[in-house]
Structure 1
């Protein structure tokens, strides 16, 4: 029997997105879309938060376009933070514009771009008694992996409308 290719494993990125989507829902966010794509790119999660601004006021909705970076230990890009380059931000911005064009009823909502950092580790590779020193926002054990939402960066970068 031939060995599996080295990249034959569950879609870790999707497992990370699942964890973040569940965490957002538990925090009061409504998931509008997962893996929204167009010719410009893809947005992992598009979520809406319906908050109340004050007593007797109307609901104040916010849209978050969430980029999820799922990485294992020893990764080359600071847990995915270094992968959010200016070029990647431009793609996310254009993709968000396409989403808002497709759903014009959402176009007047305040929008922000968030980044979620998820750490992934095969369960078999965990050391006995190993603990994580960083506080974890959410975690799950799925498909032989432990996933941990290490950081959620709200409004991680400005809209490119400010940059011309």
Structure 2
């Protein structure tokens, strides 16, 4: 199987993030930011509902042949997301707000894609 070119992978990743955002908005979340970056890394989606800020890591695969995409969120990736999220809270004057870390996995493309949301998939380790 050939490896997709970088532009093709980015386009595919954008489609996965779009599916995740549509899912979150349908569940009543308001998306604050997408692809927010700082020196610690990137936050795929930052959403909020009521007083809760949610940092969402989006993982996508074209098929489930290699397993659930959510299983690819390594401990090292979790630590980078946590550090970036803490920086986000500080940069946007959201200190003191409740927050959590979710993972959304998207398998497939287009209308046939399946979206799985894992609330509280990992924690800040505090």
Q: Is the TM value for this pair above 0.5?
A: yes
Q: Give yes or no for the alignment of 1:147 onto 2:94.
A: no
For 1:45-124, what aligned pairs fall within 5 Å after superposition? 45-50=45-50, 61-73=51-63, 75-76=65-66, 78-104=67-93, 106-121=94-109
Shift of 1:120: 1.7
Greater percentage in helix:
2
CA RMSD of aligned residues (A): 1.8
Aligned to 1:137: none
Superposition misfits of 4+ residues, deviation over 3 angstroms: none
Q: 1:91 to 1:148 in 2, by over 3 A?
A: same
8 Å CA contact 2:69, 2:105 repeated in 1? yes
**Higher gyration radius (CA):** 1
For 1:21-40, what aligned pairs fall within 5 Å after superposition? 21-40=21-40
8 Å CA contact 1:70, 1:119 repeated in 2? yes
Work out the number of aligned pairs and report it. 122
8 Å CA contact 1:12, 1:120 repeated in 2? no
C-alpha distance in 1, partners of 2:92/2:98?
Answer: 14
Consecutive unaligned residues of structure 2, counting only runs of 5 or more, are none
TM-score normalized with structure 2 length: 0.87
Encode CA deviations 1:32-59: one digit per residue, 9 max, x unaligned: 0001111111111000001xxxxxxxxx
